[in-house]
Amino acid sequence: MKIIAYGIRDDEKPYLDKWSEENPDVEVASTGELLDDSTVDQAKGADGVVTYQQKPYTASVLDKLGSFGIKYLSLRNVGVDNIDADAAKRNGIQVTNVPAYSPEAIAEFTVTQLMRLLRRTNTFDRKQANGDLRWAPDIADELNQMTVGVFATGRIGRAAMRIYKGFGAKVIAYDIYHNPELEKEGVYVDTPEELYAQSDVLSLHAPATKENEHMINDKTIAQMKDGVYILNPARGALVDTDALIRGLDSGKIGGAALDTYENEVGIFNTDFGSFDKISDERLKNLMKRENVLVSPHIAFYTKRAARNMVYFAMDANKSLINTGKSDKLVEL
């Protein structure tokens, strides 16, 4: 049995080596390169492929895997929206993901960024760097006095809710699928519009689907409270960036924390050498603002998460090869 792992980062390599030691019946090959037309031939002779990337898994790549007789593709992340579903089905490729490598990591980071916004840390860091140790006029808000609206109550959304509650915030939620325990608590509102209208903070944890694309837009922003804070650790496609900028310019949006960005592929996790060399002007517009926190898709990035992403994906791929089954199969 042979599995090839693509896109292996330096921080993942020790976990992959450890998994390989614990599974001597599996030949493990790995590369730091992503899975695309220029690298897919490396998979020839393998029984399964494990990968993680934000760039698309194209039809040509999946067709090539199919021609090699590879039927098992295991992602080391949650989202499968970058897979050409028709091509995967055409080639009989089964796909698994890692639905919960560390919901707490993403939830903790999201709340951390909110607290930085509320306590104006960007502003005070700038002031202090310039020798200004005055308080005014940058007085803060308190989370315990606010209503947080959580959009989507999957594992990450629920983990974030627990932390928000720990700070004493009132927490409400919207999801088309109601969690039974949260249903008992009575936290759900009936419509997104109700969530927008009641929330001082909007915490987004929804997947990137056609229905959710640009769900944060001029129309929905207009339905929100004045001075709303918008947090997006989920998917960049949820937010219409131009509408977000207009909302920030008008003051309708009080601040935003963005760990994802709709045009992040090819930009995030890249060293440009200097701020001026970053190629995306809209992104730089956001990064320059003291009431906006941009982070390069790092909410998940913890040791525990990196370990789980490797182990869960490798275990799933091995299970598929051995049995044709996995508890992490995804329906495309």
Q: Looking at the structure, do residues 143 and 196 belong to the same domain, yes or no?
A: yes
Q: Looking at the structure, do residues 114 and 167 belong to the same domain, yes or no?
A: yes
For the chain, give the percent of residues with pLDDT over 70: 100
Is 90 exceeded by the pLDDT of residue 137? yes
Q: What per-residue confidence (pLDDT) applies to 294?
A: 98
Q: Looking at the structure, do residues 160 and 29 belong to the same domain, yes or no?
A: no
What is the residue range of 121's domain? 103-294
108 is catalytic: no
CA distances to 28, 44, 240, 324, 330 from 24, in Å: 9, 21, 48, 20, 27
264 is catalytic: yes
Structure tokens at 122: 């960007």
CA 28 to chain centre: 27
Domain count of the chain? 2
Is 90 exceeded by the pLDDT of residue 283? yes
Rounded to whole angstroms, the Cα distance separating 147 from 250 reads 22
**Edge-to-edge order in the sheet of strand 147-151:** 170-174, 147-151, 201-204, 228-232, 253-258, 292-294
| Residue 72 belongs to domain with CATH number | 3.40.50.720
Rounded to whole angstroms, the Cα distance separating 15 from 311 reads 7
Q: Looking at the structure, do residues 146 and 267 belong to the same domain, yes or no?
A: yes
Pair 155, 205: CB distance under 8 Å: no
CA distances to 204, 222, 253, 255 from 250, in Å: 22, 11, 8, 11
Positive or negative CA dihedral for 99, 292, 284, 294?
negative
Task: Name the DSSP class of 292.
Answer: E
For the chain, give the percent of residues with pLDDT over 90: 95
Q: Looking at the structure, do residues 312 and 287 belong to the same domain, yes or no?
A: no
Q: Looking at the structure, do residues 216 and 323 belong to the same domain, yes or no?
A: no
9 is catalytic: no
Q: Looking at the structure, do residues 132 and 172 belong to the same domain, yes or no?
A: yes
Is 90 exceeded by the pLDDT of residue 78? no
Q: Looking at the structure, do residues 124 and 81 belong to the same domain, yes or no?
A: no
User: What pTM, to 2 d.p., does this model score?
Assistant: 0.90
Give the pLDDT confidence of 168-177 residue by residue, as tens digits.
999 999 999 9
Pair 305, 97: CB distance under 8 Å: no
Which candidate in 76, 205, 297, 307 is catalytic?
297
Q: What per-residue confidence (pLDDT) applies to 76?
A: 97
State residue 184 phi and psi, 5-degree precision.
Answer: -65, -30
Query: Count of CB atoms within 10 A of residue 200's CB?
Result: 21
The pLDDT confidence band at residue 79, using thresholds 50, 70 and 90, is confident
- Average the pLDDT over 152-168 and give the result: 97
Task: Name the DSSP class of 131.
Answer: T
Q: Looking at the structure, do residues 309 and 278 belong to the same domain, yes or no?
A: no
Q: Looking at the structure, do residues 37 and 117 belong to the same domain, yes or no?
A: no
Which candidate in 158, 235, 262, 307 is catalytic?
235
DSSP helix, strand, coil percent of the chain (3-state; round to 5): 40, 15, 45
- Average the pLDDT over 273-294 and give the result: 97
Q: Looking at the structure, do residues 217 and 97 belong to the same domain, yes or no?
A: no
Which candidate in 264, 282, 290, 307 is catalytic?
264
Q: Looking at the structure, do residues 37 and 182 belong to the same domain, yes or no?
A: no
The pLDDT confidence band at residue 62, using thresholds 50, 70 and 90, is very high
Q: What per-residue confidence (pLDDT) applies to 30?
A: 98
Q: What per-residue confidence (pLDDT) applies to 48?
A: 98
Place of tokens 């490797």: 310
Positive or negative CA dihedral for 218, 205, 76, 83?
negative
